[in-house]
Amino acid sequence: MAKPVSIEVWNPNGKYRVVSTKPMPGTRWINLLIEQDCRVEICTQKKTILSVEDIIALIGERCDGVIGQLTEDWGETLFSALSRAGGKAFSNMAVGYNNVDVSAANKYGVAVGNTPGVLTETTAELAASLSVAAARRIVEADEFMRAGLYDGWLPHLFVGNLLKGQTVGVIGAGRIGSAYARMMIEGFKMNLIYYDLYQATRLEKFVTAYGEFLKANGEQPVTWRRAASMDEVLREADVISLHPILDKTTFHLINKESLATMKKEAILVNCSRGPVVDEVALVEHLRQNPMFRVGLDVFEDEPYMKPGLSDMKNAIVVPHIASASKWTREGMATLAALNVLVRKLVTQPHYLLA
């Protein structure tokens, strides 16, 4: 049996008990829950990733809803515990919900929410930052300066890749993939090639219109193409950014074979989920191809990196911070609270009439 976990309580006399497995930024989400007569319990345990047992202890005997995190395993065990405690709603504080077994939630009558949209631009901005940092070798150059190694300008010092006029490849052109594509097209005048199961009509229209605008101003127009296969993107793009969901179809989408298809000097960015890339194959590819560079926000076995990755100069690694802007994280917390509340309002029609 897990030890009791430490909690902070807001509005102790609230009628509905809502648990958040982590403190979240801002207070708007807490106030929204309190306004709707919720007692809010926030886990303050100094342990980054809570186990299933920890969360069962948090749910306790009676719990109406839970706001959880992408690091937690929301499967059969937790949804049955929540349902036994009378819970009707769960929200992940994330848009990705590969940590949530939605059919188990359905089985136990628990509605599931996520936090799309509010993090689209912030996440795309990090993917764009990693693309530029990798292309221009910013992290390596920063380390070099700090190590006191700079002794004067040289024609060959930290030569990288020019983005303008090159091709950006997007795999998964949904909300974030499309926002990223626009940033790279507007910012660096790159041409687009994308692969998605669905047509990204709005993105295509944007690139067409932007290309016409550039042409009317006497500049080289940008172009777009929807690839019939992912391999086309891998073969043709100079910078490739991954933005699909993680599911069975995208697990190890990038593997030894697909890496070999890419240009030797290509840049690969992953701000989706770690297991979309076979990280062992990636480390080997980085070792064999020193001009190939990656920018990674996510890892296959978070919080760990596969052996050798941290030694690779041609890899930039950051700790899953793509959505980490203040505005966005407060927005995600607010959406997560609303997800839990919507279910309460829907299942308590008398409350709506009160």
Ligand X SMILES: O=C(O)C(=O)CO
Ligand Y SMILES: NC(=O)C1=CN([C@@H]2O[C@H](COP(=O)(O)OP(=O)(O)OC[C@H]3O[C@@H](n4cnc5c(N)ncnc54)[C@H](O)[C@@H]3O)[C@@H](O)[C@H]2O)C=CC1
Instruction: For residue 282, state whether it binds ligand X (rule: CB under 6 A).
Output: no
| Alpha carbon distance 180, 171 (integer Å) | 11
Say if CB 335 and CB 314 are below 8 A apart. no
Q: Can you read off the two tokens belonging to residue 48?
A: 């980054």
Closest approach, Cβ 205 to ligand Y, in A, equals 16
Distant-in-sequence, close-in-space partners of 348: CB < 8 Å, separation ≥ 6: none
Q: Which two tokens stand for residue 340?
A: 């839990």
- Residue type, position 241, single letter: S
Output 234 or 340, the one with its CB closest to ligand X.
340
What does the per-residue mask of binding to ligand Y show for 282-321, with x meaning CB under 6 A?
---------------xx---------------------x-
Residue 257 is among the residues annotated as catalytic for this protein: no
241 binds ligand Y (CB under 6 A): no
The values of phi and psi at residue 200, to 5°, are: -95, 75
Which residues inside 59-118 make contact with ligand X, applying CB under 6 A?
70, 94-96
Q: Tell me which of 39, 273, 329, 343 is the catalytic residue.
A: 273
Q: Could you tell me whether strands 293-296 and 315-317 are parallel, antiparallel, or unpaired per DSSP bridges?
A: parallel
Tokens of 199: 């047509």
Q: Considering the candidates 76, 204, 232, 302, report the single residue annotated as catalytic.
A: 302
- Picked from ligand X, ligand Y, none, the partner binding residue 297 (CB below 5 to 8 A depending on kind) is ligand Y
Tokens standing for residue 31: 């106030």
CB of 320 to ligand Y, least distance (A): 5
Tell me how far apart the alpha carbons of residues 221 and 212 are, in angstroms, rounded to a whole number.
6
273 is catalytic: yes
- Judged by CB under 6 A, the chain residues 91 through 150 that form the site for ligand Y are 95-96, 116, 119-120, 123
Confirm or reject binding of residue 171 to ligand Y (CB under 6 A). Answer: yes
209, two tokens = 């219109």
Does 124 engage in binding with ligand X (CB under 6 A)?
no
Give the separation between CA 251 and CA 235, rounded to whole angstroms.
20
**Judged by CB under 6 A, does residue 273 bind ligand Y?**
yes
Four-residue CA torsion sign, 320, 342, 12, 34? positive
For residues 228 and 329, what is the distance between their CA atoms, to the nearest angstrom? 36
Angle at the Cα of 130 from the Cα atoms of 124 and 131, rounded to 5 degrees: 90
Please give the size of the binding site for ligand X, defined by CB under 6 A: 6
| Residue 133 contact among ligand X, ligand Y, none, beta carbon within 5 to 8 Å by kind | none
Which one of ligand Y, ligand X, none interacts with residue 196, CB within 5 to 8 A by kind? ligand Y
User: How far apart are the C-alpha atoms of 234 and 268, rounded to whole Å?
Assistant: 10
Taking CB under 6 A as the criterion, the residue among 36, 270, 323, 339 binding ligand X is 323
Looking at beta carbons only, is 38 or 124 nearer to ligand X? 124
Which residues, numbered 34-73, are part of the site for ligand Y (CB under 6 A)? none
153 binds, among ligand Y, ligand X, none (CB under 5 to 8 A by kind): none
Tell me how many residues contact ligand Y (CB under 6 A). 31
Least distance from ligand Y to the Cβ atom of residue 121, Å: 11
Known catalytic membership, residue 302: yes
Interface characters, 181-220, with ligand Y (x: CB under 6 A)? --------------xxxx----------------------
Cα–Cα distance between 291 and 160 in angstroms, integer?
9
Distance CA 321, CA 298 (A): 9
Q: Which helix or strand (DSSP H or E) is residue 241 part of?
A: strand 239-242
Q: How many CB atoms lie within 10 A of CB 37?
A: 15
State the residues that interact with ligand X by CB under 6 A.
Answer: 70, 94-96, 119, 323
Q: Which residue ranges make up the site for ligand Y (CB under 6 A)?
A: 95-96, 116, 119-120, 123, 171-177, 195-198, 243-246, 249-250, 271-273, 297-298, 320, 322-323
Catalytic residue IDs: 273, 302, 320
